[in-house]
Amino acid sequence: MPEIKTLGLFLITALAEIIGCYLPYLWLREGKSIWLLVPAAISFAAFAWLLSLHPTAAGRVYAAYGGVYIFTAILWLWAVDGIRPTTWDVVGSGIALVGMAIIMFAPRST
């Protein structure tokens, strides 16, 4: 069960980071309101806080989180940008998730 909690926390963390990046993108590239920077800043603060909730070493969390971020970004590409992922997008994000699982869930000596 801790694996499910870890994955869920990583997914929420990735969404916070992507939203924190996407809102300034909308302002800078799409001419949307500068006020989007307020929820972007809140989202980035939530991102940092969420990463701190993991019980393992920070470096390991950051390394493993990258795999979930890649997967979530590909989902965002499809759901928000309306671009269907290619086979290579799916394969690459799958490999990243396997790497995350190895880093986070491999047996460790204490």
Residue 71 lies in a domain: yes
Residue 39 lies in a domain: yes
Residue 110 lies in a domain: no
Residue 72 lies in a domain: yes
Alpha-carbon span 82 to 78, nearest angstrom: 5
Domain count, the chain: 1
Domain that holds residue 11: 2-105
At 40, phi and psi to the nearest 5?
-65, -45
Residue 44 lies in a domain: yes
- pLDDT digits over 30-77, tens only? 999 999 999 999 999 999 999 888 877 778 888 888 999 999 999 999
Residue 80 lies in a domain: yes
**pLDDT of the residue at 110:** 65
Residue 58 lies in a domain: yes
- pLDDT digits over 14-41, tens only? 999 999 999 999 999 999 999 999 999 9
